[in-house]
Amino acid sequence: MSIRNNWTFQEIQEIYNKPLLELMYEAASVHRQYNQTGEVQVCTLLSVKTGGCTEDCAYCPQAARYNTGLKAHKLMDVNEVLTKANEAKESGSTRFCMGAAWREVRDNRDFDRVLEMVKEVNKIGLEVCCTMGMLTEDQAQKLKEAGLYAYNHNLDTSEEHYEKIITTRTYEERLHTIGNVRAAGISVCSGGIIGMGETDEARIGMIYTLATLPEHPESVPVNALVAVEGTPLEDMKRVSVFEMVRMIATVRIVMPKTMVRLSAGRLDMPVAEQALCFMAGANSIFAGDKLLTTPNPSFSDDMAMFNLLGLKPREAFKKEAIEKLVTS
């Protein structure tokens, strides 16, 4: 099977609706064909600017308008961030993703500080990623020059369901930022969340939009909603592992080379459930006992899981290393 960007909604729907074991088998086969199975990328998140966000994303504990009890924190100092990045590296992470609760990046002193963070974390030898809201082409370029490896900007859901979740910025704006990241030569990380009351069609719709971008995102995070008290989605029921597996497997089949990240929601998943997700083609996780603001399994629990399942952490900059080998 070749890498395709001309998927139709219906083709993806047919894959998504296959009997679950059939779907898993096909996804596992595609995974074996395109990737080193048994290898899982370990990323660590750090919220460098927390809470107080102007936006109304219905899932988000960091939106100022919801009363979630979260303590807001202004942009961290570069040195504090470096300490955390070094700890992440020592624990075995190869990618370090810095999150800021901003609607968009602004051209101010905070941005200068972010550029400094990117430069310094890059020197440690970690793949540096940021997730800070909308970016202009010029800002993306500056981040690239500072050494940014990847930028995370999620579509979150399908275009149709989007307006039930966020009203303060458009789907179009999200796609525009993703285009700016791509144009600057930064690796694109974009995915979404399931468990926000969306239909199967909305889940398929989001995959369709990602799979028909001119180039597939290099990584697609699949988050299970972490229903946080105080947010409009606080009463949402936790998604089942079978919904996660269906989503992950479909993403794996239609975007064979993409890193598929089993993201938020792992804390409630027993190892047996996570194993099904790896079997279905997930090959990346967020490790460390905190995501941005909510808890996550500890490094030691994850390493115990890796040992049990025979998984090993993926080295940093693998794609570049492979490309260098091929061209030399």
x-or-dash string of contact with ligand SAM, 123-152, rule CB under 6 A: --------xxx-------------------
Among ligand DTB, ligand SAM, ligand SF4, none, the one that 63 touches (CB under a kind-dependent 5 to 8 A) is ligand SF4
| Shortest separation between residue 196's beta carbon and ligand SAM, angstroms | 9
The stretch near ligand SAM (CB under 6 A) out of 22-30, 98-106, 199-207, 271-279 is 98-106
Q: Would you name the residues annotated as active-site residues? A: 53, 57, 60, 97, 129, 189, 261
| Separation CA 121–CA 72 (nearest Å) | 24
* Residue 318 parent element (H or E): helix 318-327
For ligand SAM, give the closer residue by CB, 193 or 311. Answer: 193
Tokens 């090959």 correspond to: 283
Tokens 């459930």 correspond to: 273
Among 133, 195, 256, 288, binds ligand SF4 (CB under 6 A): 133
Among ligand SF4, ligand DTB, ligand SAM, none, the one that 218 touches (CB under a kind-dependent 5 to 8 A) is none
Residues in Cβ contact with 228 at an 8 Å cutoff, skipping those fewer than 6 apart: 59, 60, 61, 68, 234, 294
Among 30, 85, 101, 128, binds ligand SF4 (CB under 6 A): 101
Indicate whether 154 belongs to the interface with ligand SAM (CB under 6 A).
yes
| Separation CA 307–CA 211 (nearest Å) | 33
Indicate whether 281 belongs to the interface with ligand SAM (CB under 6 A).
no
x-or-dash string of contact with ligand DTB, 195-234, rule CB under 6 A: --------------------------x-x--x--------
| Shortest separation between residue 61's beta carbon and ligand DTB, angstroms | 5
| Separation CA 220–CA 76 (nearest Å) | 27
Indicate whether 40 belongs to the interface with ligand DTB (CB under 6 A).
no
Indicate whether 73 belongs to the interface with ligand SF4 (CB under 6 A).
no
| Shortest separation between residue 49's beta carbon and ligand SAM, angstroms | 9
**In residues, how long is the chain?**
328
| Separation CA 291–CA 69 (nearest Å) | 17
Indicate whether 60 belongs to the interface with ligand SF4 (CB under 6 A).
yes
Residue 218 in contact with residue 188, Cβ under 8 Å? Answer: yes
Q: 3-class SS at 202?
A: helix
| Separation CA 239–CA 90 (nearest Å) | 33
The DSSP code for 184 is T
Residue 129 in contact with residue 149, Cβ under 8 Å? Answer: yes
| Separation CA 235–CA 17 (nearest Å) | 27
Indicate whether 281 belongs to the interface with ligand DTB (CB under 6 A).
no
Q: Summarize as ranges the residues that interact with ligand DTB (CB under 6 A).
A: 45, 61, 97, 99, 131, 152, 154, 191, 221, 223, 226, 263-264, 291-294
